[in-house]
A and B are shown apart, each in its own frame.
Chain A
Amino acid sequence: MTDLHWLPPVPDWRPRLRAFTAAPTWDEAVALANARLNFVLVNALDEAVRRSFPQPPPNLATKTVRLAVLGSNTLTHLLPAIRVAGLRRGIWVDTYENDFGQYHQELADPASALHAFKPTAVLLALDAYHLTAGVTAGMDSEAADAALAEVRDRIRETWRLARDAFRGPILQQTALPLHLPVLGNNEHRLPGSRIRFIARLNDALRSMAEEDAIDLLAIDDRAARDGIGKWHDIALWHRSKQEVSPTAAPLYGDLVGRWLAAKQGRSFKCLVLDLDNTLWGGVIGDDGLEGIALGQGSALGEAYVAFQDYAREQARRGVILAVCSKNDEANALEPFEKHPDMVLKRADIASFVANWSNKADNIRAIAQELNIGLDALVFVDDNPFERNLVRQELPMVAVPEVSDDPTGYPLALADAGYFEGLSVTDEDRERTSQYQGNKARDLLKAAVTDLPSYLRGLEMQLVWKRFDRIGLQRIVQLINKSNQFNLTTRRYTDEDVVAVMADPDAFGLQLRLLDRFGDNGVIAIIVGRLLANKDLDIDTWLMSCRVLGRQVEPTTLNLIAQEAAKLGARRLIGTYIPTKKNAMVKDHYAKLGFTVMETDAAGGNRTILDLAQYTPAETFIHVVEG
């Protein structure tokens, strides 16, 4: 797979590019580069940006790069993708391509256009046809070895020329394994096999690169994973001498872009992880230690283990791990301390933030606590609401686009190349413990996130209906499984729910939340009962924690008030019955403007709202009966 699948699709990308052309800003250019683009759109963006920014804008935080791309075939189609990949990281890149086939001559000639370009970095992209010139199945092993030695010497000589002429770093592309076997499975017995020659050369390049302190662009490894057919189109080679297929250009460019960023010390440093449905399946606060999917016994549980393992592997080479979860801290910590299948332990997490504040603020707090820039953070969350909130509020934080299937999470991180590293030190391997050692937990700063503008843009719709037969199963399931946002934790059977449906003095409401990212499903359940004194008792109010912080609560109250009024109620009675898990809603009714009438020793409370005095809250949620 050579598409940029970890970047989010941006539906209004085309109109935004047109708007950018009319009124270009560098920030918008960077934002447009951080979308899932195919090679045609990469070229379009590159054209627009080069027209608007022929020179780097002033005061960039990054160093500008002048990259000479040298090779023996057509490379023109790769240059826009390289420039856009730099742009994706806030780096302004200018490129130079040698005249067709003339890379060696231009390097050796101080009067050449290449020298006039004054590159700060060099990419040497030699195609596999050029590298195997003269190699043929007729060779004996002595001749094949001599041919290999000659190619190695020629590459070394090229490195030396580039290094003498320019002071910048050199990136050597490994050779694409694009040749076909002629002997078959035991191709290795044919000394003059071209595909074996390329494999041997790629091996040799790795040790040569160590000796000469050269970095590699390992497209041979990529092609092994993606399939050579995704990287090389033989028909296009015949037509236009493009070794790398244009459809793979965006990925090729990104591989170069992450190297340029790593060279400036701008690789990401910290992986911030959500918990529920990201590190394990289910919601720990509702499902409990036994109820979450983690570990052997289910494919889903194994997939979460595999993701945790990949995160731990990253930690062991120096990436800092952090947790950002909407949870009670005690609940969030429980699997780390008690679940036998947790791969990640509390000690692996340098910063652990679990509370009910919005995630943009919590991510700011994590960066502050770890004393690293926000632009060093990668945030993984299964929930599209949270991903988009963080993207909007903190565009410098990388947020890979993932599905709800954890099987793909390691791949998203690996393919995105956020943590591109050029070396590993002993210090890297001990990084997390260092952060744990010198950390001092600051209190969370006051909220600074512009949540209202985000919520407004979400185009939320709360679609409600009375309980019905079709929804019965989901209603009963929610009533019996919700523990955290559940005011009374009353459990209902199918029959109990049907009884509510039949009772003229009661109503049961099922609420579904839709927004521009999709349908969140049924997220809240209400049961109200009219008492003899015309008070409406809110028997049950429960909600999925996924939709916290989205104004669903006041909008739901508007709806309850409306339905209560239809039954002739004068007041609403709200009751909080404490359990081990629902402390988060202790002050739910008070926050909504109810008056607390009584509290009990266990911490419960009973509250009242006079409907005559009640003004419906204004929210960004459109309420629809459906």
Chain B
Amino acid sequence: MPSESEIYAGLTEIFADVFMRDDLALTPALTAKQVEGWDSFKQIEIIMSAEERWGIKFTTRELDSLQSVGDLVRVIGTKAG
């Protein structure tokens, strides 16, 4: 099972590709509203990249429950490994 810091490190790489910027610091409280360009399409890019990276598949309920980066990290942590 990946550690929380490994998940943050992986997500940081994913976010860097999705938003093409290296300066995005991921925190548990970070939400889509706070990041320019984080729309539903980018959300799908993030989700599918995470699924590929950790070899997991999110359920519809899990996706609906995501409110913040912290939620995403928690769900990945419970599914991966």
* A212-271 contacts to B (CB < 8 Å): 235-236, 238-240, 242, 246-247
How far is A474 from B53 in the complex, measured between Cα atoms in Å?
A: 39
Chain A residues with CB below 8 A from B71, complex form: none
A43 CB within 8 Å of chain B: yes
What's the count of A-B pairs with C-beta under 8 Å?
39
Chain A residues with CB below 8 A from B20, complex form: 17, 44, 47-48
Q: How far is the CB of A144 from chain B (nearest CB, A)?
A: 32
A541 CB within 8 Å of chain B: no
Contact with A along B1-25 (1 / 0, CB 8 A): 0000000000000101110100000
Interface size class of B (residues with CB under 8 A): 10 to 19
* B43-69 contacts to A (CB < 8 Å): 44-45, 48-49, 52, 60, 63
Complex contact B48–A247 (CB within 8 A): yes
Chain B residues with CB below 8 A from A246, complex form: 44-45, 48
How far is A240 from B41 in the complex, measured between Cα atoms in Å?
A: 9
CB closest chain-B residue, reference A74:
B41
Interface size class of A (residues with CB under 8 A): 20 to 34
B40 CB within 8 Å of chain A: yes
Complex contact A235–B45 (CB within 8 A): no
Contact of B41 among A41, A77, A247 (CB under 8 A): A77
A interface, by DSSP: helix, strand, loop or mixed?
Answer: helix
A409 CB within 8 Å of chain B: no
Contact of B45 among A17, A43, A48, A239 (CB under 8 A): A43
CB closest chain-A residue, reference B16:
A14
Contact of A239 among B17, B18, B52, B63 (CB under 8 A): B63
Chain B residues with CB below 8 A from A40, complex form: 14, 17-18, 45, 49
**Given known contacts A40-B45, A246-B45, A240 and B40 CB-to-CB distance under 8 angstroms:** yes
Contact of B60 among A14, A38, A239 (CB under 8 A): A239
A39 CB within 8 Å of chain B: yes
Chain B residues with CB below 8 A from A236, complex form: 44
A76 CB within 8 Å of chain B: yes
Chain A residues with CB below 8 A from B63, complex form: 235, 239
Q: How far is the CB of A57 from chain B (nearest CB, A)?
A: 22
Chain B interfacial positions (CB closer than 8 Å to A) = 14, 16-18, 20, 40-41, 44-45, 48-49, 52, 60, 63
**CB-defined A-B contacts under 8 Å, sample of 10:** A14-B17, A40-B45, A43-B45, A48-B20, A235-B63, A239-B60, A239-B63, A240-B40, A246-B44, A246-B45
Top 9 A-B pairs, shortest CB-CB distance: A40-B17, A44-B20, A40-B45, A40-B18, A40-B49, A235-B60, A247-B48, A246-B44, A246-B48
Contacts A40-B45, A246-B45, A246-B48 supplied; 13 other A-B pairs, CB < 8 Å: A14-B16, A40-B49, A41-B17, A43-B18, A44-B17, A76-B41, A77-B41, A235-B63, A238-B60, A239-B63, A240-B41, A246-B44, A247-B52
